[in-house]
Amino acid sequence: MDIGKLKRVLRTVDDEELLYDLYHLSLALVQTSLGYDFTYGEYTEEKEGKIIYLNHAPVIEVTNLETDAEEYSINQRYGVIYFDSVEEIKIEYVGGFEELPEDLEFAVIMNCESIYNRLGSSGVSRESVSGYTVEYIDSFPPVIVPILDKYRRIIL
């Protein structure tokens, strides 16, 4: 992660530890929302089902797949394996993003800004002072929702 990009958005924040924490919190929230972890690495999973959702996506390469099924398909973008019947599998694969796509990184950074702007207002949805009203959103900023939808895994 390039902390410089986040510093350019949160111009008044010089605390690199806070920026690092904000980024990783935002990243975790985005990954939870999308339904998978996109941290790049080599993974091994044992699962059972007709539709199997891997913990990491996108799937870059399947290095080993142990299954009795003769036919199956893999949606590599979302890390989903489809079988005709319930199967037990063991899969070894390389998954996640080596580098976040620019739009997804933008979404994580914009969410950092939203989290930062809400610091100290936990539990408050609206504040008014001298005729000035601030209303806090308790979800992702609307500008990033279409970006997240592009990467969101739909669970069937």
pLDDT digits (tens, 9 = 90+) for 29-74: 999 999 999 999 999 999 999 999 999 999 999 999 999 999 999 9
Report pLDDT for 3: 76
pTM value is 0.81
Decide if pLDDT at 23 tops 90: yes
Decide if pLDDT at 25 tops 90: yes
- Share the mean pLDDT of the chain: 89
Rounded alpha-carbon distances, angstroms, from residue 76 to 54, 107, 151: 10, 22, 12
Helices 102-118 and 16-34, packing angle to 10 deg:
120
Report pLDDT for 10: 83
Report pLDDT for 9: 83
- Please say whether the beta carbons of 74 and 81 come within 8 A: yes
